[in-house]
């Protein structure tokens, strides 16, 4: 049986969906993805998995010593797509992939190309205020205010086309997860295939 058939038949009660969750460092992506099984079921109405791209990066650069590299980023995002495919094959209906590098279409294309044949793909960007980001990251090693502002500005200037914006400034992580599910289940941020 080929991969498409296995994936297509693993869940009969709805489409597979992949949510690409973007936002600057400190915006709350990881906090949402680490809420756990019960929180995911509550938000989505079914079991849902989350892949933190930073964890995949740590396989090759555990201490963040390497400079950014497009080829390495493509490798990691391709691995995220492969992991999402495996989760779909094993019955997970919704998979969220979160990461700082998911704001640029040239980066997300690695995931979109791999998953579009088997899943609906959504893009959501967390957009808390800079004061919220700085407050969340205060005192965290490697997250000084200058670096956080720079990352915030990069994301503000380069919004992914078609993204749904989620201002989680005044939300706890579980509230933001619930709002993320509400947006996606309502169709916001769906990346549609290009028309010929």
Predicted TM-score (pTM) of the model is: 0.89
Domain ranges of the chain: 3-10+17-185
Mean pLDDT of 146-153: 88
**pLDDT score recorded for residue 3:** 42
Is the pLDDT at 5 greater than 60, yes or no?
Answer: no
Is the pLDDT at 1 greater than 50, yes or no?
Answer: no
Higher pLDDT, 106 or 186: 186
What CATH number does the domain located at 3-10+17-185 have? 3.40.50.300
Q: Which residues contact 36 (CB under 8 A, 6 or more apart)?
A: none
**pLDDT score recorded for residue 8:** 43
Give the C-alpha separation, 62 to 136, whole Å. 23
Give the C-alpha separation, 19 to 142, whole Å. 27
pLDDT band for position 46 (50/70/90)?
A: very high
């Amino acid at each position: 049986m080929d991969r498409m058939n296995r994936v297509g038949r693993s869940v009969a009660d709805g489409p597979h969906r992949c949510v690409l969750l973007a936002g600057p460092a400190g915006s709350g992506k990881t906090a949402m993805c680490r809420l756990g099984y019960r929180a995911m079921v509550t938000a989505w109405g079914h079991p849902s998995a989350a892949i933190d791209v930073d964890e995949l990066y740590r396989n090759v650069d555990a201490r963040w010593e390497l400079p950014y590299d497009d080829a390495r980023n493509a490798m990691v995002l391709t691995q995220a797509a492969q992991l999402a495919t495996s989760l779909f094959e094993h019955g997970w209906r919704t998979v969220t992939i979160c990461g700082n590098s998911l704001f640029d279409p040239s980066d997300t294309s690695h995931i979109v190309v791999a998953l579009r044949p088997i899943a609906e793909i959504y893009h959501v960007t967390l957009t808390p205020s800079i004061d919220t980001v700085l407050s969340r990251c205060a005192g965290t090693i490697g997250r000084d205010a200058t670096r956080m502002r720079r990352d915030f500005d990069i994301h503000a200037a380069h919004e992914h086309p078609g993204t749904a914006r989620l201002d989680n400034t005044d939300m706890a992580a579980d509230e933001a997860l619930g709002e993320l599910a509400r947006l996606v289940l309502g169709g916001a941020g769906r990346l549609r295939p290009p028309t010929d």
